[in-house]
Structure 1
Amino acid sequence: MANDHGEDGDSPHGADSPRPRPGKLLHLADYEPVQLERILGELRGYWEGLRHGRAIPDRADVEPRGIRRSLDYAFILERIAPGAARFRLAGRHLVDLMGMEVRGMPLCAFLHTSSRGRLSDVLESVFRAPQIAEIALASPAGYGRPALEGRMLLLPLRSDLGDVTRALGCLVAEGRIGAAPRRFDLLSDIVSPVIPGARVLEPSPSRPGFAEPAPRWNGAPPADAGAPLPRDASPEERRARFRLIRNDKPPRRPGPRP
């Protein structure tokens, strides 16, 4: 069988043939138009097929050959803290969007800072409920960066210990990627229960200031300054009780050593 350099080890173009020009780097979207709905539907259907009557499938059940048509867009997440997860595995499309290997990176790296709070809330609801989340994304146009629209799907999985700390997902962006890295704004999100008819856990703000501006402390002590503070008092409320203690006595001079 001939190898890449021909049967005799020479160039397959021959001695007198011109050398081929350096190849152009191609992205997935340059090779085949992205079929967003198909990719999302296939991954969702694969996850449903892994359940076998269970509410949540196991991470060990996921095999790359089972999602080979969507593999370039798929990823596996590991929950590392409340509202935070990192990539354990990621497809080629995510590498193209970021312009580098993304394994070990946090999921929030794909979003602008203004959208990371909401992503954290949605992600935590996926692990806690657990439930399914679908997120609409957009990346505005810039120099060397055409506008992109995308969707993200998050499907919970159980780890080897039985807790829901893994997720199967995909990120699909439509359009020419342009200059990497590409980051997105979170436009909207939809969460749904893993069991039809079950209660949905709405993503809640994980910290003050996401849903509405956080109240600012004006420096004045509260009216009931003498009352004991509750256990859930905020740092601002505790600082409002601090008092500056002055000592007008001059410092004592150290005496002679014995």
Structure 2
Amino acid sequence: MFGNGGKGRGIVSMTDREREKRLEPLRVVESYWHDLATTRGEVPLRSEIDPRSIENALEYAFLAERIAPGLAKLRVAGAHLNDLMGMETSGMPLSTLFTPAARDVLADAVTRVFAEGVMVKIRLTGEEGFGRNGLQGDLLLLPLRSDMGDMTRMIGALVTTGRIGRTPRRFNIESVSVQAATLTRTTPDAETAPTRTAPETPPVPGLAEEAAPFEATPSSDAKRPPYLRLIVSND
């Protein structure tokens, strides 16, 4: 940490900054999923996922398929997952990355993703031992639908902090956060509501002038008043 002294004023936690930087791939995947979901108004299809849209997170991302209640198999996995296991992880159950003690909690989280369409975030700690130092991780799980419309697919991302060391590295679960996914449809081209004309405002009492009465102009041959007479002079 850096600071300018004085009871912690001006101190910047480098740990927090590093964690925020580390979590960026998860934010990229989550934001992309939300864009698809809010456009359609429902959980996106697996076939709609475009790797180019999450290019900066591909190393940490994966796609998985439901193969049994609470169990998902990795179909496509980024290089970081392979580095953690020291082998190719595509085709392996997601639970392979977890210790036996953590797998029941993972199974419950996976079940909820597929059954309820929720978003799950999991805080992880790496199993320690000879050649395996402390390792912290964060996992994101988001639901997808197959082309048949059933919710049996998943997109996720896994990021870690610390040296991987001796592989394979498996994780324990520190905490699980479950959030309802936002699926509100957006309609950017929605028709504009017709403009209503405001009713004419009546004159304010005390400020309006009274209308002047209409008076017709008399014609030229109108009868002259009785006090006028015609005088003719022939001189």
Structure-2-length-normalised TM-score? 0.68
How big is the shift at 1:54? 1.7
Check whether the contact 1:55–1:194 (CA below 8 A) recurs between aligned residues: no
Q: Quote the RMSD (CA, aligned, Å).
A: 1.6
Check whether the contact 1:110–1:182 (CA below 8 A) recurs between aligned residues: yes
Code of the aligned partner of 2:109: V
SS at structure 1 position matched to 2:95: helix
SS at structure 1 position matched to 2:139: strand
Partner of residue 95 from structure 1, selected from 82, 89, 98: 82
Q: Does 2:29 correspond to 1:47?
A: no
Partner of residue 81 from structure 1, selected from 68, 71, 81: 68
Partner of residue 97 from structure 2, selected from 110, 122, 138: 110
Structure 2 Cα separation of the partners of residues 74 and 177 of structure 1: 17
Q: Percent identity?
A: 44
Structure 1 runs (4+) deviating above 3 angstroms are none
Q: Which moved more, 1:44-53 or 1:178-187?
A: 44-53
Q: Does 2:178 correspond to 1:191?
A: yes
How big is the shift at 1:196? 7.7
Partner of residue 155 from structure 2, selected from 151, 154, 168: 168
Code of the aligned partner of 2:27: G
SS at structure 1 position matched to 2:151: coil
SS at structure 2 position matched to 1:72: coil
Change (3 A) 1:155 1:179: same
How big is the shift at 1:63? 1.4
Structure 1 Cα separation of the partners of residues 176 and 118 of structure 2: 13
| 2:137 alignment counterpart | 150
Deviations 1:96-138 (A, max 9, x none): 0000001110000000000100100110000001111000100
Deviations 1:63-82 (A, max 9, x none): 11111100000000100011
Gaps of 5+ in 1: 1-32, 198-258
Structure 2 Cα separation of the partners of residues 171 and 88 of structure 1: 15
Structure-1-length-normalised TM-score? 0.62
Gaps of 5+ in 2: 1-17, 185-235
Relative contact order, CA 8 A, sep 6+: which one is greater?
2
